Amino acid sequence: MEFAYLQTPMGIAELEGDENGLAAIRVLDEEKPIGIVPEVLEDAVYQFQEYFEGKRENFDLKLNPSGTDFQKKVWQALKEVPFGKTLSYMELSKRLGDPKAIRAVAAANGKNPLWIVIPCHRIIGSNGDLVGYAGGLHRKKWLLEHESPSPQQSLF
């Protein structure tokens, strides 16, 4: 696997992938040197930069996340939540055909290895509260505000 590091408004992003696709994206709390970007990750870094500059709403990348079949099904459903929109865990469970699977759906959402590209930050509590984000609720809030159609107003 190859690694690239990118400064974002929320910290250093670590992108991991190879010729089979992007496998993981993590936001780090510690500093990492921003160095040469491996060729297999150049497009991912470029698209991430565009996203943070407000020039990109969707990613067009080859993805290769590791997970169970159920997790991959949930992650695929997450990719269908449009930029600037949110969905509750219950609504996501219903879209997947089983409202009783809400806890399993939430767990799969939390295991998403592709931060932002698979937009797990767009999933909120049924009452509209920000809940459950592996990167921290402050980052979830930032992402939702970044994607808000009315950036001058805070969602939360």
pLDDT, tens only, 53-80:
999 999 999 999 999 999 999 999 999 9
Asked if residue 12 belongs to a domain, the reply is: yes
Would you say 120 and 109 are in contact if contact means Cβ atoms under 8 Å apart? yes
130 vs 122 pLDDT, higher one: 122
Q: Write the Ramachandran bin of 136: left for phi over 0, alpha for psi from -120 to 50, otherwise beta.
A: left
Domain span at 115? 69-147
Would you say 148 and 155 are in contact if contact means Cβ atoms under 8 Å apart? yes
40 counts as catalytic:
no
Which position among 10, 78, 120, 144 bears the catalytic label? 120
Which CATH number fits the domain that encloses residue 40? Answer: 3.30.160
Task: Verify that 77 and 47 share a domain, yes or no.
Answer: no
- Tell me: pLDDT of 85 over 70: yes
Asked if residue 60 belongs to a domain, the reply is: no
Total count of domains within the chain = 2
41: tokens are 């990750």
Which CATH number fits the domain that encloses residue 103? Answer: 1.10.10.10
CA distance 49 to 119: 16
Q: Using N-to-C axis directions, what is the helix angle for 69-78 and 102-110, rounded to 10°?
A: 80
CA distance 37 to 2: 9
Task: Verify that 47 and 80 share a domain, yes or no.
Answer: no
Asked if residue 152 belongs to a domain, the reply is: no
Which pTM was predicted? 0.89
Per-residue pLDDT averaged across 130-137, rounded? 82
CA distance 147 to 132: 18
Task: Verify that 39 and 109 share a domain, yes or no.
Answer: no
